[in-house]
């Protein structure tokens, strides 16, 4: 749904429910210098994180994964790292 919106309009919006975690993986260009994002909330605080994965990009595909908070805890890396955004 979000990916379809991004294809049609570059300024797409994704609404995230209470207790949900959304991971959006976006391949970057090796000469890239900046990342821009905007977020908003009505009457609530939100947690927001940005993580980089330094690996060779195999595809230019944007991926989106939505999970509830219990899934997030299960998907923590073995080294204790959490790659949720």
C-beta contacts of 52-57 below 8 A and 24+ residues apart: 53/25, 53/83, 57/27, 57/28
From CA 22, how far away is CA 16, in angstroms rounded? 7
- Alpha-carbon dihedral sign for residues 50, 32, 16, 77: negative
Q: Sketch the domain layout of the chain as residue ranges.
A: 1-85
The predicted pLDDT at position 69 comes to: 63
pTM of the model: 0.47
Query: pLDDT digit string (tens) for 12-55?
Result: 777 777 778 878 777 777 777 777 777 777 777 777 777 777 77
Greater confidence (64 vs 76) lies with 64
C-alpha torsion 24→57→27→67, nearest 10: 0
């Amino acid at each position: 749904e979000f990916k379809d919106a991004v294809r049609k309009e570059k300024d797409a919006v994704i609404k995230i429910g209470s207790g949900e975690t959304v991971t959006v993986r976006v391949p970057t260009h090796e000469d890239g210098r900046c990342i821009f994002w905007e977020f908003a909330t009505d009457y609530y605080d939100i947690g927001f994180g940005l993580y980089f994965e330094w690996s060779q990009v195999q595809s230019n595909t944007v991926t989106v994964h939505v999970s509830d908070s219990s899934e997030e805890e299960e998907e923590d890396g073995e080294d204790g790292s959490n790659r949720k955004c």
